[in-house]
Structure 1
C-alpha cells in the first residue's frame, strides 16, 4: 500500500477521488476511495502524518463506515505509526468482532491471525494483545499453533504478568483434543510457576485416570506442612481422597506404603476411623489378600472407640464375609453344573476320590470346599456383635460398672467366660474413677460362686473385696453386709454375727497413726462408724442374740454418736417390750438431747405419747414439764401438734381451766398460717367445756389478734351467727358492721348476702338502709376513683335503693299482704286489733312497704296534732317521758323461749343428768312434757 503522505489527492467531479494518476490505489475497490467528506481528514494527516490525533479523528468520524474502508484507514495509520498500542488494540478488536460471525474455517480468521502476528512484532510486551490472540486461538481450536503462541507469550512477557496467560494455557491443556502428555507437561510447568494450585493438577490427573501420579501428588501435598488449599479443602478431606485412590485403584498404584499411610491417617484423624479401616481392608481385598483383609477388619472392630464407627466397620465386615460366602457358593454351583454332563459312574468315582482325600487329610479344614467353614465364620461374626459392641463401650470408659454387668449377662450359658469377665472387671475398674457402684461387681462375682455351691470361693472373693479402697464407706459396708447375708442364707448364724463383730471393730491407734503419716486414710479406718453396718449388726443381735448383747450394740451406737432418730425409737421399743419402761424413757431423754428439729419431732411425739399412756394421772406434773420443754424447743411450725397433745392431756387427766390456758398459749405461739385452725379448735373445745358464752371473748381475741383479713371476716361471720342463735340481734348487727371493714363487695359478695338475709329476717327499714349505706361506703373506699355527688343525685340514689330493697324482699318470698298487715299492726300500736289498723293507702309515698319503722310512727293525724308534733320536735331541750301505762290495756302474753343447751356446755349436761337422776316422780315428768308441748305450740 502506498504511503499516506504521497501527495495531494485529485477529486473527481462525481465527488470521488480522481484516477490513480495522483494516488495510485492499486488493487483496492473504487468504493474505498476517499470522498469529499474525507478531504479535511486527508489534508490533516498529509500535514501531520505521524500524529495519532489526526488518524484517531478520522477513524471516529468514519465509525459507521464499512469494515473494509475502516481497515484501509487502520492499515495506513499503522504503517505511519507501527508502535501505537491504541491503534493496534482497536484494530485487533474490530477484526476479531468482524471474524466471530464466520465459521473458524473462514478466510477472515486467517487474516485475523496474520494481523495478530504483525501486531506482535511490535506489541510483544503488551499482555492484553497476547490475551486476545490466545483466546482467539483457543476458540479456533488451533492446538499446536496455540501451544507455540503460549510459549512465545510466556517468553516475551515478564514473569509478573504470567498470571494472565496461565489460566488460558490451562484451558488449552484441559481440552479433550489436547494430548494427555502435552497437558501433563503444561500442568507441571504451571506448578513450577504456582505450586499452591496442586489441587487443579490432581483433579486433572484423576479425570485422566493417572492414579499413580495423582497418589504421588496427594502424598507430597499431605507431607508438606506449609501447604494451604486454595479450594478450602481440609487435610482430612485430602486424606480421604488419597485413601479412596489407594484402595479403589490398588493395582495401578505402586511405590507407596499404603498400609502405613492409612494407619497414619487412622492415628491422626480420629473422627473418620471407621471409614479408614474399611478403606484399608478394601485395599487388601482388591489385591486378593482376603485373609489380610479379614485381619484388618478384626483389628478395626477391636480398636474403634465409638458405636457409629463400629457400625461402619462391622457392616463392611459382614458384607465382606457374605460376599466371600456367595462367591464360594456360586463357584460350587458352576462346578456342579459342569459335572452333571459326565456320566453317573464317573461322577460317583470322582466323589469317592474326594471323600478318600478328606479322610487321608485327617482334617476338614484341608478340604478345598470350605463353604461350611465360611458359613460358620459368618454366623459366628453375627453372634459376636453384642460382645464386640460391649467392648467398644468399655473402651470408651473402662470404669463403667453397669456395662461390665451387661457384658457378664452376655455369657449366661458360659460360666467360664463369666468368671473371666468378672476377673477382668475387678482388675480394670478403679473405684475412685468408677461410674456406678464398683462393689456390686464383687458382690455379683461372689453370688455366682454361691449359685454354683462354691461357698469357699465366694468367701475368698468377699475377703479380697474387703481389702479394696473404695470411694465411700457405704460401699465397703455393703460388702460386709452381703457377706453376712450369704452366711445367713446358708444357716451359718454364728459366723454371720462374728463377721459383723469383726467389721465393727475399731482399728488400733497404731494403724491410725500410720495412715495419718502416709496421708491417705483408707475407708477401712472409717468402717467402724458406718451406720448401715451397725444397723445390720443390731438387727442380727435382736434376732439371734440376747437382750444384753443387743443393748450393748445399741449403747455402742450411741457412744459413737452415729445414731439416728429411728435407732432411738427402735431401742426404746426394745426396752418397752421387755418391760424396761424407765430405761426406755431414758433413751428418749438421750434422743431429745442429741437431735434437734426436724429430726427430733418423732422422738418427742412418741416420748410424750408413751409417757402419758403409761402414767396418766400419776405423774401429771412431770408430764407437764415434758410438754413445756417440748413446745419451747419446737419451732413455730411444729408447735401445733404438741399443744393439741398437751391440751388433750389436761382435758383427760388435768383441769379444764389449764386446758383453756394451753389453747390460749397455742393460738399466740403458732404461726399466722395456723392461727385460724387453732382458734377454731379453741372455740370448739371452750364451747363444749364451758358453754357457748365462754366463746365470746375467744372470738373477740381472735378478731383483734392480727389474723389475715379473710380469716378475720370468717371469724366475724361465725361470731355474728353465734350471737344471732343466742338471740342477741344488736350484738350480731354490731359484729356485721365491724366485719364490713374487711369485706370488699366485689371480692366478698357472700358476706353482704348473708348480712342482707340477716336484715331481712331481723331488721327494719332503718337498719336495712344503714346496711346499704355501709356497703356503698366500703365499695367507694375500695375503689380507685371517688366522686362527690350533688345532693339531688344522692336523694335519687336513696329512693332507688329503697326500691331495690322492696324488690329484694319480694324475691325473698315475703308476701306483700303479710308485710302490709304487719306494718299496720305495729303502726296502730299494740293495744289495737289488726282489723282496726288504718289503710295502707294513708302511708306516705316515700314510706317503704313491709318494713317496721324504727323511729317515729307515721299516722293519719290531724293538722293540730301535726303542729304539736312539729313543735315538740323543734324543742330539742324537752325531756321525753314514757307514757303511763293504761290499766285498761289488755294483758300482753309474752312468748317464752327455752335457752339453748349449748349455752351451758358440759356443765349444763352434767346438771341435766343430775336432775334426771333426782326426779323420780312420773307426775313431774308429765308436767315437763306438757310444758314442752306448750312451748312448741307457741312457737308455731
Structure 2
C-alpha cells in the first residue's frame, strides 16, 4: 500500500493548467500537424471540436488496456489516465481562450474534469417521463430516484487540490454562462458525492444553492429547490431549519414534512406551532393538506406532539394568565377605497384590497402560530377554543388529550379535574367511554406507582404521607367505579332529556334522593 505522501506526490495534475512549455510530454510528434492547424485557424470552432473529440477517443482507447492502481486515486490511479487528463485539460483550456462563451465546449470540459475526479456516474433507469407540473413532494421523490451514484472517485483528502480545481472550473464556467441551468445542476450534483472534501460540505454548498436561486429566473427555481431541500434534510441542524423556513414561506405544501423533521430534531415547540397554524388555516379553508388530511387530523397531530413533549411545548401552570371575557365590539363594515363605489374614504385607516378592489381579510399577529417565537403555548385554552368548540363529535379524544398533557407535566389534580369535567360535558357514550377508560387507567397507574414506592420506603415520614395518599387514591378509584352507571345515565339524559326509560333508570339508581332525580344540572349543561 502506497503511503499518503507517495500518493500526494503525483497530484495535482491540473494546477497550474498544464502546458507544453512546462510539460513537454503533453505533445507527441503525431500532434504537430494538429497544433499547426489550430494555430492557423484559431477562430474555427469546428477545428477545435474535431481535435478535442480525437484526443478524447484516443484517451478512452488507451485507458481500456490499463490496470487499476490504488483505489484512493480513483480514475487517476494509473499514469496513462493522469497523462490523458493533462492533455485534454490543455486542449480544452486552449479552446476556451478563443470561445469563452461556448456552452458546447464548457459542457464537454466540465464533463471530462468531473469524470476524472468523481468517477463513473451511474443512474437508475426510469420508466416514463417526469411530470412537468408536479408538487414539490413528488419532485423530491423523483430527484431522489434520479440521484447519481459513482463508481470509484478521487479521495477528498489525497486529491484535495484536484477537488478544489474542479470547483474552480465550475465557478469559471458560471462566470461566463450564469443563466445555464444544466451547468448549475451539474455543479450542485458534485456536492452529493460521498468523497466530497469537508471544506465543501456545508457553507460553500448552501451559498452555491443560494446563488443559483438568485441567478436563475423564477421559472427554473423548481429545478433547484428539490435538490436544495434534499441536501438540507440530509445535512440537518440549523441548515435544515433555515432552508425549510425559506421555502415554506413561499410554498406551504412542505410544512407537514418539515414538522416531522422538527420533531426528529427535537424542536417540538416550533413543530407544534406550525401544526396549529395549519389546523387553523385548514378550518378556515385557507390550506389544503397535500396528504388529504382534514383540519381535525392536523389538530390531532398537534395534540400528539403536545402529549409527547408536554414540558417543551406548554406553559407552566403558574405562567397561564386567566382569560377574561371581553364584550364583543361591533365594528363598522369597512369598504376599500374606490373612485366609482358608493363610499370614498377621506379619513381613517386604510383597508387592504386585492386587484379587483375587494377587501382582503387580515388577521392580527398570533405568537401561537409563529415558529420563530419562543413563547410556549397555553394548551388548555387552545384545546377548548380550537378543539372542543369546533369538533364536538371528537370531545372524548380532546378531553383525554388534555388530561394526558397534565399527567405528563405531573399535574395530577388538574388531570383529575379535566377527566371529571369531560365526563360531565360529553353527549355520547363513545366519548364518555373513552374518557372513563383513560381516567380509570390513570388511577390504576398512579395507585400502582404509590404501592411500588411503599415497597421500598426511604423515610418514615414520607412513608406515612404516601400511605395517606394511597388510601385517598384508592377510595377515589372505588368511588369512580361505583359512579359509572350514574355517569352513563347523565350522558344519555344530556343527549335526550325526553327519554322516559332513562328517567326511570335514574329513579331506580337514586331511589329516594329527589334532588338527584330532578337533576337540574343535566338541563343546565345541555
Other-structure match for 1:234: 294
Q: How far 1:88 moved relative to its partner?
A: 1.1
Report if aligned partners of 2:493, 2:499 keep a CA contact under 8 Å in 1: yes
Other-structure match for 1:89: 107
Other-structure match for 1:622: none
Residue deviations 1:654-704, cap 9 Å, x none? Answer: xxxxxxxxxxxxxxxxxxxxxxxxxxxxxxxxxxxxxxxxxxxxxxxxxxx
Seen in structure 2, the aligned counterparts of structure 1 residues 367 and 228 have a Cα distance that, compared at 3 Å, is closer
In structure 2, the gaps of 5 or more residues are 1-18, 60-83, 119-151, 316-375
Other-structure match for 2:490: 391
Map 1:7-46 → 2, pairs under 5 A: 25-28=20-23, 30=25, 32-33=27-28, 35=30, 39=33, 45-46=38-39
Report if aligned partners of 2:280, 2:295 keep a CA contact under 8 Å in 1: no
Residue deviations 1:688-742, cap 9 Å, x none? Answer: xxxxxxxxxxxxxxxxxxxxxxxxxxxxxxxxxxxxxxxxxxxxxxxxxxxxxxx
Other-structure match for 1:266: 388
Residue deviations 1:476-514, cap 9 Å, x none? Answer: xxxxxxxxxxxxxxxxxxxxxxxxxxxxxxxxxxxxxxx
Other-structure match for 2:512: 416
Other-structure match for 2:306: 246
Residue deviations 1:421-460, cap 9 Å, x none? Answer: 76569x98xxxxxxxxxxxxxxxxxxxxxxxxxxxxxxxx
Which has the larger share of helix?
Answer: 1
In the aligned structure 2, how far is the partner of 1:315 from the partner of 1:106?
65
Report if aligned partners of 2:388, 2:398 keep a CA contact under 8 Å in 1: yes
In the aligned structure 2, how far is the partner of 1:304 from the partner of 1:133?
61
Other-structure match for 1:77: 95
In the aligned structure 1, how far is the partner of 2:27 from the partner of 2:191?
30
In the aligned structure 1, how far is the partner of 2:475 from the partner of 2:446?
12
In the aligned structure 2, how far is the partner of 1:34 from the partner of 1:151?
48
Other-structure match for 1:650: none
Q: How far 1:323 moved relative to its partner?
A: 2.0
Report if aligned partners of 2:276, 2:298 keep a CA contact under 8 Å in 1: no
Other-structure match for 2:163: 109
Query: Does 2:207 match 1:148?
Result: yes
Report if aligned partners of 2:184, 2:212 keep a CA contact under 8 Å in 1: yes
Seen in structure 2, the aligned counterparts of structure 1 residues 232 and 72 have a Cα distance that, compared at 3 Å, is farther
In the aligned structure 2, how far is the partner of 1:250 from the partner of 1:326?
23
Other-structure match for 1:213: 270
Other-structure match for 2:337: none
Q: How far 1:367 moved relative to its partner?
A: 10
In the aligned structure 1, how far is the partner of 2:265 from the partner of 2:180?
35
Map 1:845-924 → 2, pairs under 5 A: none
Q: How far 1:326 moved relative to its partner?
A: 2.2
Report if aligned partners of 1:394, 1:403 keep a CA contact under 8 Å in 2: yes
Query: Does 2:46 match 1:53?
Result: yes
Report if aligned partners of 1:138, 1:146 keep a CA contact under 8 Å in 2: no
Map 1:500-539 → 2, pairs under 5 A: none
Other-structure match for 1:165: 224
Seen in structure 2, the aligned counterparts of structure 1 residues 53 and 235 have a Cα distance that, compared at 3 Å, is farther
Report if aligned partners of 1:285, 1:293 keep a CA contact under 8 Å in 2: yes
RMSD: 3.3
In the aligned structure 1, how far is the partner of 2:41 from the partner of 2:497?
97
Other-structure match for 1:189: 246
Residue deviations 1:744-779, cap 9 Å, x none? Answer: xxxxxxxxxxxxxxxxxxxxxxxxxxxxxxxxxxxx
Other-structure match for 1:595: none
Query: Does 2:399 match 1:256?
Result: no
In the aligned structure 2, how far is the partner of 1:42 from the partner of 1:307?
93
Map 1:489-888 → 2, pairs under 5 A: none
In the aligned structure 2, how far is the partner of 1:404 from the partner of 1:208?
55
In the aligned structure 2, how far is the partner of 1:56 from the partner of 1:213?
56
Of 279, 282, 288, 1:222 maps to: 279
Of 135, 138, 151, 2:189 maps to: 135
- TM-score under structure 1 normalisation? 0.37
- TM-score under structure 2 normalisation? 0.63
Q: How far 1:258 moved relative to its partner?
A: 0.9
Seen in structure 2, the aligned counterparts of structure 1 residues 377 and 157 have a Cα distance that, compared at 3 Å, is same
Seen in structure 2, the aligned counterparts of structure 1 residues 32 and 232 have a Cα distance that, compared at 3 Å, is farther
Seen in structure 2, the aligned counterparts of structure 1 residues 218 and 422 have a Cα distance that, compared at 3 Å, is closer
Other-structure match for 1:330: 452
Other-structure match for 2:180: 126
In the aligned structure 1, how far is the partner of 2:40 from the partner of 2:499?
103
Other-structure match for 1:798: none
Report if aligned partners of 2:424, 2:491 keep a CA contact under 8 Å in 1: yes
Other-structure match for 1:98: 116
Seen in structure 2, the aligned counterparts of structure 1 residues 382 and 26 have a Cα distance that, compared at 3 Å, is same
Seen in structure 2, the aligned counterparts of structure 1 residues 405 and 75 have a Cα distance that, compared at 3 Å, is same
Report if aligned partners of 1:45, 1:55 keep a CA contact under 8 Å in 2: yes
In the aligned structure 2, how far is the partner of 1:95 from the partner of 1:193?
36
Of 293, 297, 301, 2:415 maps to: 293
Corresponding residue SS for 1:50: coil
Question: Relative contact order, CA 8 A, sep 6+: which one is greater?
Answer: 2
Corresponding residue SS for 1:65: helix
In the aligned structure 1, how far is the partner of 2:432 from the partner of 2:505?
18
Residue deviations 1:884-927, cap 9 Å, x none? Answer: xxxxxxxxxxxxxxxxxxxxxxxxxxxxxxxxxxxxxxxxxxxx
Q: How far 1:291 moved relative to its partner?
A: 1.6
Report if aligned partners of 1:143, 1:172 keep a CA contact under 8 Å in 2: no
Query: Does 2:406 match 1:284?
Result: yes
In the aligned structure 1, how far is the partner of 2:484 from the partner of 2:516?
17
Seen in structure 2, the aligned counterparts of structure 1 residues 267 and 92 have a Cα distance that, compared at 3 Å, is same
Report if aligned partners of 2:310, 2:408 keep a CA contact under 8 Å in 1: yes
Q: How far 1:134 moved relative to its partner?
A: 1.9
In the aligned structure 1, how far is the partner of 2:258 from the partner of 2:433?
36
In the aligned structure 1, how far is the partner of 2:45 from the partner of 2:494?
84
Residue deviations 1:536-565, cap 9 Å, x none? Answer: xxxxxxxxxxxxxxxxxxxxxxxxxxxxxx
Seen in structure 2, the aligned counterparts of structure 1 residues 231 and 112 have a Cα distance that, compared at 3 Å, is farther
In structure 1, the gaps of 5 or more residues are 1-23, 340-346, 355-365, 429-940
Seen in structure 2, the aligned counterparts of structure 1 residues 193 and 415 have a Cα distance that, compared at 3 Å, is closer
Q: How far 1:277 moved relative to its partner?
A: 1.0
Residue deviations 1:608-653, cap 9 Å, x none? Answer: xxxxxxxxxxxxxxxxxxxxxxxxxxxxxxxxxxxxxxxxxxxxxx
Seen in structure 2, the aligned counterparts of structure 1 residues 77 and 380 have a Cα distance that, compared at 3 Å, is same
Other-structure match for 2:475: 376
Other-structure match for 2:77: none
Q: How far 1:420 moved relative to its partner?
A: 5.4
Q: How far 1:276 moved relative to its partner?
A: 1.4
In the aligned structure 2, how far is the partner of 1:406 from the partner of 1:371?
34
Q: How far 1:202 moved relative to its partner?
A: 2.0
Seen in structure 2, the aligned counterparts of structure 1 residues 310 and 88 have a Cα distance that, compared at 3 Å, is same
Q: How far 1:145 moved relative to its partner?
A: 1.9
Residue deviations 1:785-823, cap 9 Å, x none? Answer: xxxxxxxxxxxxxxxxxxxxxxxxxxxxxxxxxxxxxxx
Report if aligned partners of 2:454, 2:466 keep a CA contact under 8 Å in 1: no
In the aligned structure 2, how far is the partner of 1:131 from the partner of 1:187?
20
Seen in structure 2, the aligned counterparts of structure 1 residues 408 and 106 have a Cα distance that, compared at 3 Å, is farther
In the aligned structure 2, how far is the partner of 1:95 from the partner of 1:124?
19
In the aligned structure 2, how far is the partner of 1:48 from the partner of 1:269?
80
Q: How far 1:321 moved relative to its partner?
A: 1.2
Seen in structure 2, the aligned counterparts of structure 1 residues 76 and 31 have a Cα distance that, compared at 3 Å, is closer
